[in-house]
Amino acid sequence: MMKNVFITGATGFLGGELLIDLSKRPEVGKIYCLVRAGSREKAIQRLKKVFDFHNDHFDPSRIIPVQGDLAQDNLTASLAENKLLEDVHYIVHSAANTSFSPIYDKMVEDINIHGLEKILKWSQSLKSLETFVYVGTATICGKQLKNRTVLETESPNLNAEHLVKYTYTKMQGEVQLKKYLPEDKILIVRPSIILGDSRPWTPRSYVIMWTLACMNFLRLIPANANTLLDMVPVDYVSGAIMKIMFSKRKHNVYHVSAGENGSTTPAQLAITIEAAFPDSPKFNFVGREMVRDVKMWARKRLNEDSPLHKHPEYLDYWKGIMEDTGELRVLMGGLDPYIEFMELGQVFDNTRMLSEDFGIQQSPPAHEYIKNSIHLLENIDIFEAALEP
């Protein structure tokens, strides 16, 4: 029997890949997509764009928009009243507000916790529901776990301390799931950090990839060169989620990550960037303790005894590539939370996913796969990205 899927977040970075991959699965029938749009036509246009992006065929008889917003009060009722949705077998919840900026904290909480609850309340009444796939994040483990491999079983931990509201809300999301649905209907997939695409084309989103563009721009980096970074490409994550979702499983929580064998480091990423952009100065990593000094330099208030003065060639280089040092303040404002995350050195154990009979291969490390699209760093507007971290 064909399985019908309801997906949220299909217009997003990962959700778009999930939608395309779902549309190729022989066992999948209709795919209902929750989309924010002012009209049905606009919703169709937004979904068609996802298919156009990869020159893929959009079949309106199979890909069906459901207009709605996770912030909407009557969302549960409107989904329950929608007769089309009575035979949904899978729900894939990928929508989230992924902002790291504290100015969006309330919205992040509203969407990622209360929005999820609205979907969960509806899902409870769905007789046909087999599996609720919650796209979580491995970073819910919190900031106390440093420089080591993290297991699936270590989260959700209600005592975890979070660097940003976003990871807290994603952790709470997992807690909510268990309140509404029995364990055997829950599948939690926790990607690590999704960086770009392993295929030689423009990824749907430059989120995270813009931090590499910032590295390429600055060349003197206030971060540790050798911290382990667990990064995976979006196509790998989507492919792995498909395999986990449609296979017999031993567990209901899986990291979708690079793990110990596939993680990278800022130094290794720098080698890949340098090879593609050899005309800029060599990379130099000066440690996270220098973030403050870089910010002070950008404010023209750097102390005379700052160790940053030991790098005059980079300070001259910065003066040459920026119209105003204020530009560096903008960049550092956006980069700061990412550097904090990077410096945690968390690697997410992927042996669960790799050792089961899913047919999932180890992801190549980011410094390898990103070579396919490294030239795209030039196209990224780093200043705009830094304003919306």
Q: Summarize as ranges the residues that interact with ligand NAP (CB under 6 A).
A: 8-9, 11-15, 34, 36, 69-71, 94-98, 111, 115, 135, 137, 170, 191, 193-194, 205, 207-208
In the complex, minimum distance from the CB of residue 174 to ligand NAP, in angstroms, rounded to a whole number: 11
Least distance from C-beta 191 to ligand NAP, angstroms?
4
Of 66 and 220, the one with the shorter C-beta distance to ligand NAP is: 66
Nearer to ligand NAP, 210 or 217 (CB): 210
119 or 298: CB nearest ligand NAP: 119
Output 36 or 311, the one with its CB closest to ligand NAP.
Answer: 36
Rounded to a whole number of angstroms, the minimum distance from the CB of residue 365 to ligand NAP is 16
Q: How far is the CB of 119 from ligand NAP (least distance, A)?
A: 10
Nearer to ligand NAP, 64 or 207 (CB): 207
Give least dist CB 290 to ligand NAP, A: 26
Q: Which is nearer to ligand NAP, 211 or 318 (CB)?
A: 211
Nearer to ligand NAP, 256 or 286 (CB): 256
Closest contact distance (angstroms) between CB of 251 and ligand NAP is: 18
By Cβ distance, which residue is nearest to ligand NAP? 12
Cα 65 to its chain centre, rounded Å, is 23
Smallest gap, in angstroms, from Cβ of residue 118 to ligand NAP? 10
Shortest approach of ligand NAP to residue 32 CB, angstroms? 13
How far is residue 118's CA from residue 78's CA, in Å, rounded to a whole number? 10
> With respect to ligand NAP, which residue has the nearer C-beta, 253 or 298?
253
Paired with 135 in beta bridges are 189
